[in-house]
Amino acid sequence: MRLLVTGGCGFIGANFLYAMRQRHPDWQLVNLDKLTYAGNLGSLRALEAEAGSAYVFIHGDICDRDLVSALLAEHAVDAVVNFAAESHVDRSIDDPAPFVVTNVLGAQNVLDCARRAGIKRVVHVSTDEVYGSLGETGQFHENTPLAPNSPYSASKAGADLLARAYHETYGQDVVVTRCSNNYGPYQFPEKLIPLMYTKAIKGEPLPVYGDGQNVRDWIFVDDHCRGVELALLKGRPGAVYNFGGAAEMPNIEVVRTILRLTGQNDSLIRFVTDRPGHDRRYAMNFDLAERELGFAPSVTFAEGMSRTIAWYQANSVWLDEVQSGAYLKFMDRWYKERS
């Protein structure tokens, strides 16, 4: 397999690259990443050192038609997994434009270049947020109508519809995956779990939006990566698969878990103004992925959180480099070493 992974310097993409390298050492891995604020070359140092020529990094934009077409041909790519995206809801509320550019136009460009190059399969990585918000009961199924509430989720829904259209119109082999909230190593500390961890270890206040009762379904990143791998290897062309962690929880409970694991107490919690358009509850039904792909989450929330906190404790340098902005300089070094 010669696999193009886009957005591989981000949180899930990096975990996916490590997992594929471990499980499929014979695969050629090509990582295309624009290195936005969320892309961190430092996350892939170990992979670069260990994999040699079996791993290639290309600095570029999924919106760049000439670049994407050229690298599909040059690397004789068999399949594409598109992780590249603007991924943070709060940033999409501040400025939706880059979300539309990368998440809609970029995704369309990936689909189109892959179609023209005759790529065997594209896995488009999407999110449960495209379904909108649930009340106290019920779950999202793959045929739940899309009802996105943030500019981020609207842009992801746009790409999902394009993926569907490319399959229906051109017969392109596209599989869409929709996953719930991920956590684990290498997650940028703007997302709930690493943000609360970084504040807790410094004894700073933890900002909980609204009443803290918004519910998310948490999945350890390795389980999501396994789901994407199964979709790549066994997915039905044109199918959409939900993945979840079977770990629904109000935010306040997640925050209390972090306080407990870092030896802090609840006095650090601050309830702050709610996020506009804040989805109340997500819950995933992933029976289809269980049935067709053999997917099941294997890491409990308790185990995943201990592993995550232990990873951040052991990798304080990674976190410091992100927080100081030093990680942004890795690109200069990367270019210097290769020029």
Q: Catalog residues that contact ligand NAD under the rule CB under 6 A.
A: 6-7, 9-13, 32-36, 38-39, 61-63, 83-87, 102, 106, 125, 127, 156, 179, 181-182, 188
For ligand DAU, the closer of residues 164 and 275 by Cβ is 275
113 binds ligand DAU (CB under 6 A): no
**Partner interacting with residue 106 (select from ligand NAD, ligand DAU, none; CB below 5-8 Å by kind):** ligand NAD
Residue with CB nearest ligand DAU?
127
Task: Compute the least distance from the CB of residue 289 to ligand NAD, in Å.
Answer: 14
For ligand DAU, the closer of residues 108 and 251 by Cβ is 251
> With contacts defined by CB under 6 A, how many residues of the chain interact with ligand DAU?
19
User: For ligand DAU, what does the binding mask look like between residues 279 and 308, x meaning CB under 6 A?
Assistant: ---x--------------------------
Q: Is 152 an annotated catalytic residue?
A: yes
Which of 55, 131, 152, 312 is an active site residue? 152
For residue 251, CA distances in Å to 1, 100, 197, 281 come to 40, 28, 14, 10
State which of residues 149, 198, 251, 264 lies at the interface with ligand DAU (CB under 6 A): 251
Give the distance, in angstroms, between the CA of residue 224 and the centroid of all CA atoms in the same chain: 9
For ligand NAD, the closer of residues 175 and 268 by Cβ is 175
How far is 128 from 176, CA to CA, in rounded Å? 11
Which of 86, 128, 160, 222 is an active site residue? 128
Task: Compute the least distance from the CB of residue 87 to ligand DAU, in Å.
Answer: 4
273: which DSSP letter? P
Binding to ligand DAU, residues 175-234 (CB under 6 A): 180-181, 191-192, 195, 207-209, 214, 216
How far is 330 from 239, CA to CA, in rounded Å? 38
Residue with tokens 């995206």: 85
Binding to ligand DAU, residues 137-156 (CB under 6 A): none
Which of 33, 61, 86, 129 is an active site residue? 129
Per-residue tokens: 225: 């990566």
Per-residue tokens: 187: 């997650």
**Partner interacting with residue 77 (select from ligand DAU, ligand NAD, none; CB below 5-8 Å by kind):** none
Per-residue tokens: 96: 């939706």
How far is 95 from 64, CA to CA, in rounded Å? 22
Residue 174 phi, psi (nearest 5): -125, 135
**Partner interacting with residue 242 (select from ligand DAU, ligand NAD, none; CB below 5-8 Å by kind):** none
Q: Is 128 an annotated catalytic residue?
A: yes
Q: How many CA atoms lie within 13 A of 247 on its CB side?
A: 23
Q: Is 209 an annotated catalytic residue?
A: no
State which of residues 35, 44, 89, 232 lies at the interface with ligand DAU (CB under 6 A): 89
Cβ proximity of 226 and 293 under 8 Å: no
DSSP 83-95: --S---HHHHHH-
Binding to ligand DAU, residues 11-70 (CB under 6 A): none
Q: CB 337: neighbour CB atoms within 10 A?
A: 7
Where do runs of H (alpha helix) occur along the chain?
Answer: 11-23, 45-51, 65-74, 89-94, 97-99, 107-117, 151-170, 192-202, 221-234, 251-261, 287-293, 301-314, 316-324, 330-338
Query: What are the residue numbers of the active site?
Result: 128-129, 152
Residues that bind ligand DAU (CB under 6 A): 87-89, 127-129, 180-181, 191-192, 195, 207-209, 214, 216, 251, 275, 282
